[in-house]
Structure 1
Amino acid sequence: PLGIIVNRVRPQSVEHQFRIKELRDMFGDLVLEPQLPERTSLQQAQGAAKPLHVWPGESAQELATDFDQLLDHIVEAGNIEVPENGPQAH
């Protein structure tokens, strides 16, 4: 497997932090960074059938950056060639 993406994280939740540590103890480097926080902007963008990358607001842009980082990791780890005129998400 490429890794484990932890999503819908609430950083203030002691339970979430405990479970993330548990995952890291069991799977080590397979637990990918960044963790994806729970954001209403994601549900709003999905409900409006719009890409998160064009959804207004700082939290949407932060989450879009997190997704970009994960995509970069996937492309690099999978040794995937991206054409110069390829995905324009960045």
Structure 2
Amino acid sequence: MVNRVRPQSIEHQFRIKELRDMFGPLVLAPQLPERTSLQQAQGAAKPLHIWPGESAQELAGDFDQLLDRIIRTGRVPVPETGAQA
């Protein structure tokens, strides 16, 4: 899972492409952007899903998409050398 992504960063985009080239479908989508709302919710010991603000809700939706993908496939993709989850 790629997190703390800054979409405008050319370096971040290069590194994400590098990860996809190396690990293909093991790199989960969507990428999780860097958001201060996550840091704020963590600092307040509150779930992101109840944190106010549009950016918090967008990020919570991204987490929901990742969880849905894992539930639908019944597993978390892992490299062949690792153990199945």
SS in 1 for 2:52: coil
Match of 2:81 in 1: none
Match of 1:6 in 2: 2
Partner Cα distance (2:53, 2:44) in 1: 15
Q: Which ranges in structure 1 are unaligned for 5 or more consecutive residues?
A: 80-90
Partner Cα distance (2:5, 2:37) in 1: 14
What letter is aligned with 2:36?
Answer: T
Alignment of 1:10-89 (within 5 A): 10-78=6-74
Identity score, percent: 85
Partner Cα distance (1:42, 1:77) in 2: 27
TM-score normalized by the length of structure 1: 0.81
**Residues matched between the structures, number:** 75
TM-score normalized by the length of structure 2: 0.85
The structural deviation recorded for 1:21 is 0.2
The structural deviation recorded for 1:55 is 0.3
Q: CA RMSD in A?
A: 0.9
The structural deviation recorded for 1:29 is 1.1
